[in-house]
Structures are given as C-alpha cells and as structure tokens.
A = this chain, B = another copy of it.
Amino acid sequence: MEQPEPAAEITLRAIGRVSCPRVELVDDHWGNVPSVIHLDAERFTPDALTGLADFSHLEVVYHFHRVPNAAIETGARRPRGNPNRPEVGIFAQRAKNRPNRLAVSRCSLERVAGLNIHVRGLDAIDGTPILDLKPYLREFGPQGNLHQPTWSTELMSDYYAD
C-alpha cells in the first residue's frame, strides 16, 4: 500500500440522541417501540434531513454507550450467555460487548418534524448517542442467497415480535 497509514484512533461525535420509553437494556420485543431521534441543534438545521421522508426505512449507527470498557469481549463467547448455544467469536455475533461498541440497526421511518425523526422498531434505549443515520436502499441489501446458522435464527425469534 502506497497510502499513508490512517490515524490509529478515530474520534467521533454524536450527531444526535434517542428518546424512547425504554430506559433499561432489554433483549427482545423491539418491533413496535416508538422512538424519536433528536438531531443536535447546535450543529444541524432541518436541511440535513431534506428528502428523508421519501424513504420508508432508515439505517442507524449508534453507540452501545452503557457498556464499560472492562466488559468488552475480544475473543469468543456464548450468545446471551446461553450454555445451550455454541461459543462464537465476537465478530460472528452482534452482542453489544464488542470492540468499538458500534450498533447498526434498521427501523421504520414514521415522520420527520424539524430536527426530530420519528421512527419505530429502533433497538436503542433512551439517551443512546446516534453516530450516523442513512436511508435504507433496497440495492444495498445483501446480494444473492442468504444463509445463517440455526442458533442465530432461534436467538432472533422474539427480537422484533410484539
């Protein structure tokens, strides 16, 4: 590689914050949770959201801000600590105790009002810092045939259920 090495550390700043009725971490039943993403009014104006309402779904990057450094896993663990599940690597699961504590999640967009984005099904608790917000485009979905192991399908069975 001829390019200079990028900086080892990357500093981000939240672009906004979530408010929603869930104040504690809960594993399941996120599908119908209503949330509002409040864009930071000190840095943004509503034109940052022009045209967003033409999309049905968003892709949101947020920070698992309640995970302490000491809890971050860098090896393998059983998803949700369940002894009946196989041990899998932290990058082979979506657990929150991961390096960089980044979450990526889809949700339905209900409406945009000024700097407030009303969504449904965002799996983030009240106060969560939002790092990015993108429209979901069909063409950016996975290409070709999907497959995944049984444990992951079982784990998700109630995730978005009412």
Contact = CB atoms under 8 A, between A and B. Distances in A.
Contact of A91 (B49, B102, B147): B49
Contacts of A47: 75-76, 89
Interface string A65-105: 10000000011100000000011111111100011101011
Nearest to A148: B55
Contact of A156 (B6, B54, B137, B145): B137
A34 interface: no
Given A10-B13, A63-B6, A156-B137, A55 B104 contact: no
11 contacts: A10-B12, A10-B63, A47-B76, A48-B91, A50-B89, A51-B92, A52-B89, A54-B148, A55-B152, A99-B132, A140-B156
